[in-house]
């Protein structure tokens, strides 16, 4: 798409992609499938002293979670392949992780990438934030 700009609000659970192009504004939502990391004691003890213990492999869960995040970032990145400008915003670390993912995968990286912190937002707030960031006026596109 010629002359498109994309704003992405994302956290580790979902991403909202707002694309502004000469055809107008389109939105798309992508779910990550990553479960929230629960830091609790796992495993079970044997009824007999010094018996076998069931152990939860936390590193295995972390690897699985990281693989799901990489798949999620790849899917989000495929939605910005043709963007000339990208605005990434959201809470926590996901926005920085996604920007780093784009740096490592050059075939997905738009020419201009901006990253900014933002709180949880509704769909309307996300769209309005992207429109404001790109100074969107329907007659200019």
Read off the pLDDT of residues 21-80 as tens digits, 9 standing for 90 and up: 888 899 999 999 887 655 545 555 556 676 655 555 667 778 888 889 999 999 999 888
Q: Which of 16, 21, 17, 20 is nearest to 2 (CA)?
A: 21
Average pLDDT, whole number, for the chain?
A: 83
For the whole prediction, is pTM greater than 0.85?
no
> In the chain, what are the domain boundaries?
5-34+57-140
Q: Which residue has the tokens 């970032």?
A: 73
Q: Which CATH class is domain 5-34+57-140?
A: alpha beta
Dihedral angle computed from the Cα positions of residues 17, 20, 21 and 23, in that order, rounded to the nearest 10 degrees: 90
Half-sphere exposure of 113 (CA within 13 A, CB side): 20
What are the structure tokens assigned to 133, written together?
A: 């960031």
Tokens of 21: 């192009």
């Amino acid at each position: 798409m010629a002359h498109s700009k994309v704003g992405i609000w994302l956290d580790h659970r979902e991403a909202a992609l707002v694309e502004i192009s000469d055809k107008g504004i389109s939105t798309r939502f992508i779910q990550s499938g990553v479960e929230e990391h629960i830091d609790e004691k796992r495993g079970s003890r044997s009824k007999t002293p010094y018996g076998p213990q069931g152990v939860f492999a936390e590193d295995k869960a972390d690897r699985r979670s990281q693989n799901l995040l990489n798949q999620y970032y790849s899917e989000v990145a495929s939605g910005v392949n043709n963007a000339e400008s990208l605005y990434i915003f959201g809470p926590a670390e996901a926005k920085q992780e996604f920007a780093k993912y784009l740096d490592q995968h050059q075939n997905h990286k738009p020419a201009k990438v901006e990253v900014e912190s933002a709180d949880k937002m509704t769909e309307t707030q996300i769209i309005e934030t992207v429109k404001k960031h790109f100074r969107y006026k329907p007659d200019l596109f």
